[in-house]
Structure 1
């Protein structure tokens, strides 16, 4: 079942299409409904839940009167307000990361570049625990374990019948920096190699130090694409916040950067061999 995040985006996209098919500007529609322009913008972008009464106002304004069509929109509106599985983790999940979890859950393709650590979807439990503990030094052991559990549950999308295509590029620093003890690092690198070798939907490349200056110096990011939604979403984060963009020109810039990183990185087959070699060096 689609996540509420993606349902909100789909609902917003459909409402945006209705508005444009009537030749109405967002500013005019907002004024007619006595709304702020930002409210309509957030609804059409899917960044906020839509209430039934507001959906009814929009549909009436656009001249949608067919009971079956109205019912379909209202049902979608209600489904989009349901809570995703990740809400059970409460404070273990920062507010700024909730939207990403919803998008990730329904993405059909994910490309990601990580210069400092293994992507969350590919982390072992032991590695994840060390990373989370280092990044949240004041949290209790129970809170750390909740964050670890959340990260492990995210990975279930890779085991479903229709898993997303995942292409991950990691900097050489990721495989050289020891996170935890030698056994933790050896297991993590072995896991990366195993996933790349046994999962046809997963590709991993390593960007070597020898590549020198590259297209994404110091900037990790991901681009998520969907089968039934227009456009893609580019995502990047810092310590306490994140940036999402769906603007075509900005998403295209991220995609072009990823293509350049692919060209600068070791080819997938050789990357797997390299991962195994470095794993053996972990003593």
Structure 2
């Protein structure tokens, strides 16, 4: 799109599509957005520079689209400017289109090494299957749900670090809108009713699962509450020819185990096959998600204010 025809993107749009050369145009648009937020709040270049521990000239270059914006700087400025959720979504989308910065380089300070390996593998997988009996899988968590869990588990993290962790979740979710990998989440029904925050937050999370269930490359399958569910989470990936064909992964409190041994992979595959065989049928699955949404929406309606 020629510069002369550039228009301000719709702030409600989840995606800002770009043509060739869009990275440069996105950079200018991202800079324009940051400058508008700064000026709207009455902050100076020096105010913004102190937030990112940089110089006024660096802020000026970022706002003109002449210098790349690091995700940590974007996160700190967005928090400082108090941007809304829709405004933040636009900033993140523009940053995604401008940045050649590696995903785990952007989040190095809050990403353990075992998770960096998982992120690399996710990008090249053909199929990803996740089983969870305790929480909604990370790739399907809404911002508020992810934020609540992070604050619950990562007690030593600052607010800025919590937002970076949530940002990493959001960036990983972008692959769900692509042709591959194809994604299947097997979730124990009790997870849908486990409160990790207020009822309206939980309603939003379950609606997201309900909507994701109908996506082209993703499927959410629910295991009935009466099913005796294994207590451990399982993450399983298969790959196209020319790479390692199969990999399983199990996360624990302070790390993760990657399973490549054939005997252990066979055991994991049998476990997942058994879980798939016990999920609700299609119509029952839809009804299970609808029931959970209605449950949380009902509780939210009863809450004062």
Q: Same fold (TM over 0.5)?
A: yes
1:129: which partner in 2?
A: 147
1:201: which partner in 2?
A: 217
Once the two structures are superposed, the pairs formed by residues 79-228 of structure 1 within 5 Å of their partners are 84-160=102-178, 162-197=179-214, 199-211=215-227, 213-214=228-229, 217-228=230-241
- CA drift of 1:87 comes to 1.6
Partner deviation per Cα, 1:223-282 (whole Å, 9 max, x = no partner): 111113132110001011100011222112111100101112212432222112111111
Secondary structure (helix, strand or coil) at the match of 1:209 reads coil
CA contact (8 A) 2:110 2:165 kept: yes
In structure 1, C-alpha distance between the alignment counterparts of 2:186 and 2:292, rounded to whole Å: 16
Partner deviation per Cα, 1:162-183 (whole Å, 9 max, x = no partner): 2211111111221010121111
2:265: which partner in 1?
A: 251
Partner deviation per Cα, 1:144-169 (whole Å, 9 max, x = no partner): 00000001000111122x22111111
Q: Number of residue pairs matched?
A: 197
CA-based RMSD of the aligned residues comes to 1.6
Once the two structures are superposed, the pairs formed by residues 3-14 of structure 1 within 5 Å of their partners are none
In structure 1, C-alpha distance between the alignment counterparts of 2:105 and 2:293, rounded to whole Å: 36
Give the gaps of 5 or more residues in structure 2: 1-99, 300-305
In structure 2, C-alpha distance between the alignment counterparts of 1:182 and 1:90, rounded to whole Å: 33
In structure 2, C-alpha distance between the alignment counterparts of 1:222 and 1:273, rounded to whole Å: 26
TM-score, normalising length: structure 1: 0.66
In structure 2, C-alpha distance between the alignment counterparts of 1:182 and 1:245, rounded to whole Å: 37
Secondary structure (helix, strand or coil) at the match of 1:224 reads strand
Partner deviation per Cα, 1:11-49 (whole Å, 9 max, x = no partner): xxxxxxxxxxxxxxxxxxxxxxxxxxxxxxxxxxxxxxx
- CA drift of 1:83 comes to 8.0
CA contact (8 A) 1:84 1:102 kept: no
Secondary structure (helix, strand or coil) at the match of 1:210 reads coil
Match of 1:279 among 282, 293, 299: 293
Secondary structure (helix, strand or coil) at the match of 2:213 reads helix
Secondary structure (helix, strand or coil) at the match of 1:253 reads helix
In structure 1, C-alpha distance between the alignment counterparts of 2:285 and 2:218, rounded to whole Å: 13
CA contact (8 A) 1:170 1:205 kept: yes
In structure 1, C-alpha distance between the alignment counterparts of 2:231 and 2:101, rounded to whole Å: 34
1:233: which partner in 2?
A: 247
2:281: which partner in 1?
A: 267
In structure 1, C-alpha distance between the alignment counterparts of 2:210 and 2:130, rounded to whole Å: 17
In structure 2, C-alpha distance between the alignment counterparts of 1:268 and 1:258, rounded to whole Å: 18
Stretches (4+) displaced over 3 A: none
